[in-house]
Amino acid sequence: MFPALDVCRRNPNMAVPFILMASYLYYIKNDSSPLSDYDFDRLCDLARNRWASIEHRHKHLITEDDLEAGTLFYLRDSDYPPIVKNAAMLWASGYRPGIAYLLSRITEALDTITTYCYS
């Protein structure tokens, strides 16, 4: 079991950035993702089962059909937000122990900024 799956079980919203990062690395960077295909499929299953309750600012980039198929092959480099690209590169470089924490903190900060700016 990979640590990201544990993080996503506790906070299903985190499935969105992990799915996007793994997809970016695999399809755009032609780099093997830190996730095996099996783990990516498990992550997609987890997200699909909780999709209705998941809230994330990048959720619109993923569909339930994508989760069913276990792929985001159609996304282009320009479709991925810069934060996803940067976090993916950190993750691929081996920076794993704090990536889940870092991603959750960045997501919280962005949500706070968005709420502040648009309220």
Per-residue model confidence (pLDDT) at position 1? 39
3-state secondary structure of 54: coil
Give the CA-trace dihedral at 69, 71, 73, 74, to 10 degrees. 60
What's the pLDDT at 105?
67
Highest mean pLDDT among 31-45, 71-85, 91-105: 71-85
Q: Which of 25-39, 70-84, 85-99 has the highest mean pLDDT?
A: 70-84
Mean pLDDT of 39-67: 95
Over residues 60-65, the mean pLDDT reads: 96
Q: Exposed, middle or buried, 47 (CB in 10 Å: 0-12/13-18/19+)?
A: buried
Query: What pLDDT shows up at residue 76?
Result: 96
Angle ∠(34,39,45) on CA atoms, nearest 5: 135
